[in-house]
Amino acid sequence: MAGVRLNGVRKDFGAVQVLKGIDLDIADGEFVVFVGPSGCGKSTLLRTIAGLEDVSAGEVTIGDRVVNELSPSDRGIAMVFQSYALYPHMTVRENMAFGLKLAKHDKAEIERRVDAAAAILNITDYLDRKPKALSGGQRQRVAIGRAIVREPQVFLFDEPLSNLDAALRVRMRYEFAALHQRLKTTMVYVTHDQIEAMTLADRIVVLNGGVIEQVGAPMDLYEHPCNRFVAEFIGSPK
Ligand code: ADP
Ligand code: MG
């Protein structure tokens, strides 16, 4: 396991400054939720933490290692996106095993990890089905399963529930909370849904226009928003 440190992280796309200097220490095992309006840089920040984007300035470290200096397989990160394309021609088990096969884990180890993840996610009964025979929620669990089997040091989630209907979103919120309690792995979660953030986060980070407006425990932000933007975004009374 490991924490994540963002130290003066900036990201420009050409002349456009998307991340304008982000400083944040995420503790080992912490569940941190980034919220903010569309276009404020949430996905860019996650991709930067994942090492999928180079930083324009500053540094991201996982544990004591700089992300961009590591090869992808050494970063210890697993990311789940909102569009969680599963391989349609593969069964659930094959979908979950695929990345581990590429990484040349042996067969018994792959089976152990897939079975353990399936048990956590309650999809053991669906392991031999193809994705088209699953509901939206079950597919989402398989996508999370693909991340769990990699046994990452850090999970990154980019609006993982935004394609699900409202009732399922509510249920899956509790599943994420349970998953974190069970695995105790560092989780960085992005959403534009305030309630999701309030339910899941140890700390919420409110992002606006590529800068952090405020960081705090959900009730701190709710009761003591530092400005009108945070108050309106979190939905606090004042
Ligand atoms: P969010 O996830 O908060 O909605 P994004 O991180 O996707 O925001 O995008 C933040 C800003 O960065 C947007 O203005 C977007 O157009 C811009 N952006 C994101 N990725 C790229 C890219 N690869 N090239 C140019 N601009 C980008
Ligand atoms: Mg986004």
Q: What is the pLDDT of residues 167-202, one digit of tens each?
A: 888 888 888 999 999 999 999 999 988 899 999 999
Q: Which residue has the tokens 């979908």?
A: 95
Q: Which residues neighbour 94 within 8 Å (Cβ) at sequence distance 6 or greater?
A: 87
pLDDT tens digits, 106-123 = 999 999 999 999 998 889
Q: Is 136 in the pocket of ligand 1 (CB under 6 A)?
A: no
Q: Is residue 49 within 6 Å of ligand 1 at its C-beta?
A: no
Q: Whole-model pTM?
A: 0.93
Mean pLDDT of the 29-43 span: 96
Half-sphere exposure of 113 (CA within 13 A, CB side): 23
Whether residue 152 has pLDDT greater than 90: yes
Ligand number nearest to the C-alpha of 11: 1
Residue type, 34: F
State how far the Cα of 39 lies from the Cα of 16, in Å rounded to an integer.
Answer: 12
Distance 129 CA to ligand 2 centre (A): 30
DSSP 126: G
Q: Does 18 sit in the ligand 1 pocket, CB within 6 Å?
A: yes
In Å, what is the CA distance from 230 to each residue of 37, 181, 212, 217, 226? 11, 28, 10, 13, 7
pLDDT at 85: 83
Q: How far is the CA of 4 from the centre of ligand 2 (A)?
A: 20
The per-residue pLDDT for 204 is: 97
ipTM above 0.85, yes or no: yes
User: What three-state secondary structure class fits 212?
Assistant: strand
